[in-house]
Amino acid sequence: MGKKVLITGASGFIAGHLIKELSEEYPLVLISRRELPYPFPRYSPEELERAFEVERPQAVVNTVGILKEKGESTYERAHTEFTEKLVELAKRWGVEKFIQISALGTSPEEESRYFKTKWQAEELVRSSAIPYLILRPSIVLGEGQKLYEDLRKLSRFLPVLAAPKMKVQPVRVERVVEAVKKGIECKLTGTVELCGDRVMSMKELFKEVLEELGIRRFVVELPKPLLLPVALLGLFGLDLEQYKMIKNNTCKEV
């Protein structure tokens, strides 16, 4: 068997694909508040210290991230504070490789607190002295991705869907999983951007996802300023922080 790997955010979309792919090769330790259908040790985030002490993982994969804040689950708490605790424990218990799932577009100058806190988490990993791999994927597509469910729900009561005017370069979740495996095996290090082969508009992406879902809807493209009133009113799941996240999300200049 390979290295023992601790995966955080184990009930999430990317983590689910990771667990499926890594489970035959690596002993896994899962961090999640939810019960999970896997035959591996599971600890809640509150039991993080105990998980390290008991399991002694050799690699950590941090997939924790939120797109929308809710109650006490803020960007600072989910991205920065949790990563700080994780890095501290990884250093204490001699973790050999730390893999951080970040996001394309992170920057310390960003207006969006989502991107700013993702950057802060990256800096914690980079300054830890632990060998690391930071992955910055564009929109990640695959079974269980939130965009599919969001468009399905909106299509139930909207005959026309609005897509923000922006360019994206979506990447398949399988490619993210492959990069994580290379990181665990020390074949990939540093900070790596992950994108698919095609640059497309968000409108084109909406249409492709709707086609996959077998749903026929007209999709219009709206410039970012026209979506501000929607964000201020909190309509259709869009809030002001998510509004700030609307920008080109590609590895290539467009």
Write the pLDDT tens digit of every residue in 23-53: 999 999 999 999 999 999 999 999 999 999 9
The pLDDT tens digits for 96-154 are 999 999 999 999 988 999 999 999 999 999 999 999 999 999 999 998 999 999 999 99
Contacts of 27 (CB under 8 A, 6+ apart): 1, 2, 4, 5, 40
Q: Which listed CATH number (3.40.190.10, 3.40.50.970, 3.20.20.80, 3.40.50.720) goes with 5-244?
A: 3.40.50.720
Residues in the chain: 254
CA atoms of 75 and 68, how far apart (whole Å): 8
pTM for the predicted model, two decimal places: 0.94
**Amino acid at position 230, single letter:** V
